[in-house]
Amino acid sequence: MSAELAAPVAETAPERIARAWRVLAQVPDPEVPAVSVCDLGIVRDVLLAADGEGLEVVLTPTYSGCPATEVIEQNVLGA
């Protein structure tokens, strides 16, 4: 695990969200791996989850019926 992925002990919600964006910027698109899911605009938002603990990542595929949607979701969850 890289230092970037390890959460600091006293990290604030805005810091967690900013760190999530940095991590997501490293998740490659499975169809065009030279660009990230953020570069393509697939990641629409990162929000603090209702439980106050987790984060919610809002994804919008580039088109409806995109065959890579499930792979993108799994890659984001694994990041």
Contact 27, 75 (CB under 8 A): yes
Q: CB neighbours (10 Å) of residue 43?
A: 21
**What does the pLDDT look like over 19-78, one tens digit per residue?**
999 999 999 999 889 999 999 999 999 999 988 889 999 999 888 888 888 899 999 999
Which pTM value belongs to this model? 0.78
Residue 6 reports pLDDT greater than 50: yes
What is the per-residue pLDDT for 8?
53
User: DSSP states of 14-70 as a string?
Assistant: HHHHHHHHHHHTT-B-SSSTTSBTTTTT-EEEEEE-TTSSSEEEEE--SSTT-TTHH
Phi, psi at residue 76, to the nearest 5°? Answer: -70, -45
What is the per-residue pLDDT for 5?
52
